[in-house]
Amino acid sequence: MKPDDPKVKWVEEPKLGLAGKMYLPALIQGLAVTTKHLFAPKMTVSFPEQRPEIGNPLIYRGVHRLNKDEQGRVKCVACFLCATACPAHCIDIIAAPSPWPDRDKYCESFTIDELRCIFCGMCEEACPVDAVELTSLFDLTGRSREEMIFDKEKLLSVYDMTKDAEPMKSASLGGAP
Amino acid sequence: MLAISIEALIKIALLMGGLMTAAAYFVLLERWIAAWVQDRKGPNRVGIPFTKIKLFGLGQPLADGLKFIFKEEHTPRHVDKILFTLAPISILSAALAVYACIPFGSVLPKGAIPGVDHQIELIAAPGIDVGMIYIFALSSIAVYGVILGGWASNSKYSLLGGLRSSAQLIAYELPMGLSIIGVVLLSGSLRLEDVIGSQASSGMWNAFAQPLGFVIFVVASFAEAARLPFDLPEAEQELVGGYHTEYSGMRLIVYLIAEFLHMITASFLIVILFLGGWHLWGITGSTNEVTWFQAIARIVVLNVKIFGVIVFFMMIRWSWPRFRFDQLMSLAWKVMLPLGLVNLVAVACFVEYEAPLKAKLGVLGLTAAMWGLSLLAWIAAGILAPLHTDNSARKDEFVLAAEDRNLGLRSHV
């Protein structure tokens, strides 16, 4: 782009008036603003004592869970779409032939490395059967690196923990239950 | 002799203890004010160790200190080790030695302490006739600490940072000196005790008599203490860092303490030279014949004033954006210096022709004349001095450069 291009809009800085050049009125203005904020209500949330409010838990991206179907089996069909979509490559799936007649495969092991996860929600978007979802649990902590690698059992237990508070998103968003 | 030494040692211990504690707690205060201005709560967790008592976060300085003790003391391999260690020491010792001549109260009443027959003055080295020169000479030594730190670090960021900071410190020393001369002329003494005494006996604080000098002194001491809006020595957001880029651990904290001490010194000087020191009308009296009540009231008044000035320092930090370096320099040389000269001449005339003018105009008229002159000088500086220096790319130059580039391109084709 050339500088004499008609599309380039040259903006001149506004000239300072006498008040601006004399500094003091602007100083007093600035001080007035900061003093007002000194006594304004504070917005800090003191976290462990006070839980922050999450707007809509259905669109919050916290810890993952693996959903179960109505018979209590894992919903995942081991199609690898989530692992393929994951930009951080933190999902690791081992597929096995399904023991149940209504589907071909299921996941023998399903691990998510929460330390690598960037909580972008792509796995959730990619899943064709709404098996993997992100919950509104945000205080994810662990005592070791190993503890932060969530396996299938742990992800299913997150479902048990959150299923009452947060129904499966697919149902509320018009997908299959 | 022994008694005097013991007296001096007690005063020094009081001062050092008070100053170090104050520096630690002013860090906490600064963080609080920063948080409150930004609608946050600020440090409120650390209280008494091993209990759940939080005490509004008043244990924070203690925790910070412990953290610094256990922090690794790292010396980069490429530095000049002796100078690298000497630089923060020099800046801190100079910052502390200044307090020898700064009064932290007035006097104790006669016979306050049994066995001492003279009146105890609350200043570490009472009666030094060149006190003010001593103070400003020592506070200029900060420049050496800054430039030594920058040089010894053997890194281009530190060296440039050191040069930048020393240029700033030296530039602002001049208007500061000019505004001090006004005070010295008015009170006729170089001793801070006498400066306060003259303000107390006339009841007219120097800030009222010479508003221009007051403003110049405040601005210059902001720059000297490297506080915002003049904190170019360490503009952590825009620049890589200043002269202490290579420092860590205890040596860095020594630099930071020295910086806070500069701020405290600056507030002491602002209060003592221009805001009447320990004087408050109708309460503190003006002579050295004090009662216990007056002696304590003077200490309280002085400290409350200093506290107010420090809070002002901290509020300014969040009220004003930082100066660019060329703006900083043009403010010092093109605005503050001429204004300082105007103030000096005005105060000199004030002192010289005080009696006839007072007969004609009265005290209020005289003060009003000083204020009017200050305002006029200020407006003139606002109109004449190019405070707003434009360094954006000029359009015509830009077009020419682009045409040159195009021509070059064409010839290649």
Q: Over the stretch A2-57, which tens digit does the pLDDT of each residue have?
A: 767 788 887 777 777 778 777 888 889 989 999 999 999 988 888 888 888 887 87
Question: By CB neighbour count within 10 A (0-12 exposed, 13-18 middle, 19+ buried), where does B411 fall?
Answer: exposed
* The residue to which tokens 């200093």 are assigned: B306
Which residues on adjacent β-strands are paired with residue B121? Answer: B107
Q: Is the per-residue pLDDT at B410 higher than 60?
A: no
Residue B86: burial class (beta carbons within 10 Å; 0-12, 13-18, 19+):
middle
Shortest distance between the Cα of A77 and any Cα of chain B, in A, equals 47
Chain B environment of A46 (Cβ under 8 Å): 41
B390 pLDDT band, cuts 50/70/90, is low
- Report the DSSP pairing between strands A105-113 and A149-150: antiparallel
Low-confidence winner among A152-166, B109-123, B313-327 (lowest mean pLDDT): B109-123
pLDDT of residue B290: 83
Here the tokens at position B136 are 């400003």
Whether B316 sits inside 8 A of A31 (CB atoms) is yes
User: What average pLDDT does range B157-161 have in this prediction?
Assistant: 88
pLDDT score of A177 more than 60? no
Q: According to the model, what pLDDT value does residue B413 have?
A: 40
The pLDDT of B36-54, averaged and rounded, is 85
Contacts of B332 in chain A (CB under 8 A): none
Contacts of B107 (CB under 8 A, 6+ apart): B119, B120, B121, B122, B288, B290, B295
| Residues 6 or more apart whose Cβ sits within 8 Å of residue B313 | B222, B225, B227, B263, B266, B267
Check pLDDT > 70 for residue A175.
no
Q: What pLDDT was estimated at residue B152?
A: 92
The beta-strand segments (E) located in B152-207 are none
Between B188 and B241, the higher pLDDT residue: B188
Share of chain B above pLDDT 70, in %: 91
What would the mean pLDDT of B86-102 be, rounded to a whole number?
Answer: 92
User: What pLDDT band is residue B308 in, cutting at 50, 70 and 90?
Assistant: very high
Looking at residue B97, its pLDDT comes to 92
The model scores a pTM over 0.90: no
Alpha-carbon distance B94 to A155, whole Å? 62
**Percent of chain B, pLDDT > 90?**
32
Q: Confidence band (pLDDT; 50, 70, 90) for B127?
A: confident
Q: Who among B36, B41, B382 is closest to A18 (CB)?
A: B382
Please determine, for residue B234, whether its predicted confidence score (pLDDT) is greater than 60. Answer: yes
The shortest C-alpha distance from B5 to chain A (Å) reads: 46
Is pLDDT of B412 > 50?
no
What residue type is assigned to position B368 of the chain?
A
Cβ–Cβ < 8 Å for B246, B264: no
Helix %, strand %, coil % of chain A (to 5): 30, 15, 55
ipTM value greater than 0.85 = no
Contact A35 B315 (CB under 8 A): yes
